[in-house]
Amino acid sequence: MTTNFRELLQTLVTGNVEFIIVGGVAATAHGSARLTEDLDIVYRRRPENVARLVAALLPYDPYLRGAPPGLPFKWDQRTISNGLNFTLITALGAIDFLGEITGGGNYDDLLPHAIELQVFGLNCLCLGLERLIHVKRAAGRPKDFEAIAELEAILEERRQKP
Amino acid sequence: MKDHDATLEPDPVIEAYKKDVDRTLIRENLRLSVEERFEKLMQLQEFAEELRRAGQQARQP
């Protein structure tokens, strides 16, 4: 199944969810040519925001991605508050809700490093390119090496532009 | 908000990978709007999905 990034972002923005786009979709926003299949976001862990997140996604049947069907997973405020990071599949596609990320921290830590994006007629926050490189480096995963190299090349290209 | 961190020190491993980055694709993407980049990603996803489907079909006896 493909992920409908437009609808997912629209759902979160119209639901007044506070979030920052990170990961591969953030890389796409900055100019990456790599394919990514899920939307990774860091959400603010305040109770009112968790409530908005739950309400926004509820109509799209969020469920643990890759888990066998029938597990007692309940998409509610308690589940989110008791956990931190959630890898989910929804009717709109794959989405990862992250309470914090390695090398970047939580929403409030990342906020000073976020940029405002206008996309699909929506205003949303996306992690800035340099911070994105920083957190991917901090994660230290060999599978990210090519992605980091591309992001650094994008940074160089941008700096060369007048 | 800022999109600016302290200068990133070059990492020798990443520098080695950087030699293989196709900068023509990056330059092409940087000419697009953010929305166009997202549209392109979704088209690429649909293409990948179609290739997976075709691959599965081809493997069936």
pLDDT (mean) for A95-115: 96
> Does residue B53 sit at the A interface (CB-CB below 8 Å)?
no
Say what the pLDDT of residue B7 is. 67
Say what the pLDDT of residue B2 is. 53
CA distances from B44 to A3, A21, A57, A141 (A): 11, 19, 25, 24
Shortest alpha-carbon distance between residue B49 and chain A (Å): 7
Say what the pLDDT of residue B61 is. 81
* B35 vs A contacts (CB less than 8 Å): 119-120
> Does residue A159 sit at the B interface (CB-CB below 8 Å)?
no
Closest chain B residue to A6, measured at CA? B38
* A122 vs B contacts (CB less than 8 Å): none
The complex scores an ipTM of 0.87
pTM of the model as a whole: 0.92
Which residue, A131, A146, A142, A143, is CA-closest to A101?
A131
| Across A3-17, A42-56, A105-119, B47-61, least confident range | B47-61
Q: Which two tokens stand for residue A10?
A: 């629209």
CB A57 within 8 A of CB A145: no
Which residue, A154, A134, A162, is CA-closest to A28?
A154
**What is the band of B16 on the pLDDT scale with cuts at 50, 70, 90?**
very high
Say what the pLDDT of residue B8 is. 78
Reduce the DSSP state of residue A39 to 3 states and report it: strand
> Does residue B54 sit at the A interface (CB-CB below 8 Å)?
no
